Structure 1
Amino acid sequence: MVERALTSAAGAGRWASVPAALRIGILYLGARVVTTAFLLLAGQLSGPASRFGQDADLGRFALGWDAQWYWYLAENGYPSELPLTESGQVAENQWAFMPVYAYLGKALGLPLGSWGAGAVVISLVAGYLGCLVLYRIVRMRAEEDAAMWAVVFFACAPLAAMFQVGYAEALFLLWLLLALWSVMRRRYAWLYALVPLMAFTRPGVLAFALFLALFGIWRWFSRRSEPLRVREVVHIVALGLLAAVTGFSWQVIAGAVTGDPGAYLATELAWRRNWLGEASAGFVPFEGFVQGAGFWFASWGLGAITGYIALAASIVAVAALLLFEPHVRRMGPEIRLWSASYLLYLLAVFFPQSSIFRLLLLLSPLWGAVAVPRSVWWRVSILGLCLLGQWWWIYNMYGLGNTYWQIP
């Protein structure tokens, strides 16, 4: 028994002596093997009713759903005239998708043979690099083992298939993690490149603008414990303005090209009409979540009023979690302020439907808080739930993918 314990300790010591980047690479590769197995199994279970057809393969999954839009954008660009439905409403079109991921996929796809190959490679590499940055972020606030477990949860998370399909989430998440790491280290210069990259990869940089505003307020009130120099104030203000300007610039660009100032918002609302019909005629901040709470709870037979109460209770519960939960607090104000900013942004602009799971991927820095408790049972249980959730999501969104709540 003593010999077994010594052997186990020696094995753990050898693993710990391996460079972190290599250990993370091994874990990430193992996670991708598991996700690939899930996708292959979902393809085998895919039936005639699925949008992917019977016996779907990895290529069809990788280019499914929004990946088709990114491919179409890379091949055809943006329309100068907005397409219209038979009723005269703006139809779904490329203006809902930002250019960076689409055109990077096209550039990398040239030597690889296809846009899809280039896009998947970008997602795979961005996922691995995101693991490295997440490790560094958590390591600033917690022990080595917590940082490595945070990487494991991140790589095996319920939405980990995003690292293997033609979606921009993995690339945006890499920019975001780098940006948060820069703020945590007070290395603001990097943000002048990262903020525009975020702005033109996918929607969400306005949440980062709010984060910088809240972070600036926090820095002001904490200046006694950490001196606040004029140069830092200038950086925070300038970067907040840059994030706001680039965040709204896509609306200006879409309006200038199409001649319709409301082109971008009308395009985004075209997707919302799939659930609400003409009720989504215009954009009003926070209206989407209120409508969604009523819509879903009424659909489930629980009544719209129950939905509004559940929405209010959820907001209070999440706020309490970010403010008071000790493991979340240990991750530091930057992670908590980003999480609050992004959730507020989603409340303001999004209509809740099955895509909400994918959008919550940008809360991945919170995996550090989940990994902090050192109980083996806790960590193994969380990993098991991650894998179970990953299979459920892949099977429903890709293996089935045939009804209104099975959209990634």
Structure 2
Amino acid sequence: MPEPTGLTTPRRVLPPALTIALIYLVARLVTLGFFVLAAALAADGTRFGADATVQDLAIGWDGQWYWFVAVHGYPAELPLTDAGLVAENQWAFMPLFPFLAAGLAPLLGGSWGLAAVLISLAAGYGATYVLFRMLRVKIGETAALWAAAFFAAGPLAAMFQVAYAESLFLFWLFLSLWAVSARRYGWLYPLIVVMGFTRPGVLAFALFLGLFGIWRWFSRRREPLGRVEVVHIVALGALATTVGFSWQVIAALVTGDPQAYLLTELSWRRNWIPGDAGGFIPFDGFVQAALFWGSSWGWGQWGGILALLIVLVAIGLALWRAPQVRALGVEVRLWSVSYLVYLLAVFFPQSSVFRLLLPLSPLWGAFAVPRSPWWRGGVIVACVAGQWWWIYNMYALGNTYWQIP
């Protein structure tokens, strides 16, 4: 696609794929240095202990759950706590990433952890490159390169080299958003399926397709809307919805419990609200979290609710009014709205919320639009500083309830 009118393209010295590879490599070396330092700073009483290694950190936390899925599969009988409630178990983790790593492991001396980290690294590069290609059409090549650099070096960039499914999910997601932007709907059929079995979130993509279809209808005079495109959007929305609920059905069929998946997900919430045996209620998680965090931080419960409302209004105004966000195109804005609504509906926000915001990474393009070198340099510094803060707390320490990645 041609560059947008009025946006200059610098004279290219290296192919874009190689330029992105160099940016990504430098970012990964910085992250590796942070992991080495975090392992050295880990002490007795921290998550990984005084003898921690970079390898321990790379396959820690949820990486252990993915390994457990790869080795043991999924339980036919849900484990229970002493109180008779469903305990944390493998059904919270989708199968594609752990089984893909298990398939690759025999080629790497049988090391599942090495295979998982290599998948994350490769998928992270793919996601960075696709993000650049997707944003280049909207904001120009230079700004898109900066956005890719912000993404590759961002506060949560450690996810690109640990045994988590985030990198792979982001790769599928960015490919899907790129396909919608390019009106290449045929690519989306397999992408939706693999995305849905990599990480939760495909229901947000179903909502995005619904909103996108409505927007296409109202914008059909500016861009003709053919019958084939309508069929694709409707069919893809139905497919994303079906895939989004399929894991719940599979868990129910295997365990015999219709609520197996939802009860498994709710088991993690009890780490913050002990004794909570309530069922899943859409949008209740954020309300409960506002009450919990408001009380924990000394604001009071109503203070927590007020803080939540202020954050939501600020985000809404930024997505609707900020010219830097509008420059990214309607697809990125509709996806951002859809994913935030999905999080509000299903998630209980705690320290993992930073990781769960990664699918909003196309918004890095808004930070790259201002052309001031001081601004862009400042964003990079903030990204790297935030990355160290996150790695230090979650990996060098990781010994309290708000230090869980």
Compute the TM-score of the two structures, normalised by the length of structure 2: 0.96
The aligned runs of 1:309-320 (5 Å cut-off) are 309-320=306-317
Q: Is the 8 A contact 1:211 1:341 kept in 2?
A: yes
Alpha-carbon offset, residue 277 of structure 1? 2.1
Structure with more of its chain in helix, by fraction: 1
Question: 1:243 corresponds to which residue?
Answer: 240
**Worse-superposed segment, 104-113 or 180-189:** 104-113
Question: In the TM superposition, what are the counterparts of 1:226-265 in structure 2 within 5 Å?
Answer: 226-265=223-262
Asked if 1:378 corresponds to 2:385, the answer is no
Q: Give the number of aligned pairs.
A: 396
48, 53, 56: which is aligned to 2:49?
Answer: 53
Counterparts of 1:129 and 1:275 in 2: how far apart (Å)? 35
Counterparts of 2:310 and 2:14, CA distance in 1: 46
Identity across aligned pairs (percent)?
63
Q: Which residue of 1 aligns with 2:25?
A: 29
**Of the candidates 166, 171, 182, which is equivalent to residue 168 of structure 2?**
171
Contact kept, 8 Å, 1:45 with 1:55, in 2: the verdict is: no
Gaps of 5+ in 1: 1-12
User: Counterparts of 1:25 and 1:42 in 2: how far apart (Å)?
Assistant: 25
Instruction: Find the partner of 2:361 among 364, 385, 388.
Output: 364
Tell me the SS of whatever aligns to 1:208: helix
1 CA distance for matches of 2:274 and 2:399?
20
Letter aligned with residue 308 of structure 2: L
Deviation at 1:15, TM superposition (A): 8.3
> Does residue 157 in structure 1 map to residue 154 in structure 2?
yes
2:12 maps to 16
Given that residues 10 and 141 in structure 2 are in contact (C-alpha distance below 8 angstroms), is that contact kept between their aligned partners in structure 1?
A: no
Deviations 1:133-186 (A, max 9, x none): 011111110121101101110100000000000000000000000000000000
Q: Is the 8 A contact 1:286 1:347 kept in 2?
A: yes
1:285 to 267, 282, 287: 282
- Secondary structure at the residue paired with 1:276? coil
Task: Write the mapping of 1:189-268 to structure 2, written as runs, cut at 5 A.
Answer: 189-268=186-265
* C-alpha separation in 2, matches of 1:164 and 1:341: 27
Match of 2:90 in 1: 94
Aligned to 1:17, the other structure's residue is in SS state coil
Alignment pair present for 1:74 and 2:70? yes
Question: 1:145 aligned to 2:142?
Answer: yes
Q: What is the aligned partner in structure 1 of residue 5 from structure 2? A: none
Q: Tell whether the 8 Å contact from 2:155 to 2:386 is kept in structure 1 after alignment.
A: yes
Instruction: Specify the alignment match of 1:109 in structure 2.
Output: 105
- Answer yes or no: is the 8 Å Cα contact 2:94–2:197 preserved in 1: yes
Deviation at 1:16, TM superposition (A): 3.0
> Which deviates more, 15-24 or 307-316?
15-24
Amino acid at match of 1:78: Y
1:271-301 Cα offsets, whole Å, 9 max, x none, are 0011112334210000000000110110111
How far, CA to CA, are the matches of 2:252 and 2:325 in structure 1?
A: 41
SS at match of 1:250: helix
2:282 aligned partner, one-letter code: P
Structure 2 gaps of 5+ residues are 1-8
The answer on 1:294 being equivalent to 2:291 is yes
| Alpha-carbon contact 1:272-1:280 (below 8 Å) kept | no
RMSD between superposed Cα atoms in Å: 1.1
| Map of 1:388 onto structure 2 | 385
Q: Does 1:335 align with 2:332?
A: yes
Quote the residue 2:40 is aligned against.
44
Distance change >3 Å, CA 280–CA 364, structure 1 → 2: farther
* CA shift digits 1:7-61 (9 cap, x unpaired): xxxxxx9983111111111111010000000010011111111110114111100
What is the Cα deviation at residue 110 of structure 1? 1.3
C-alpha separation in 2, matches of 1:305 and 1:57: 43
Bigger mean CA offset, 394-403 vs 104-113: 104-113
Q: Which residue of 1 aligns with 2:6?
A: none
CA distance in 1, matches of 2:276, 2:15: 55
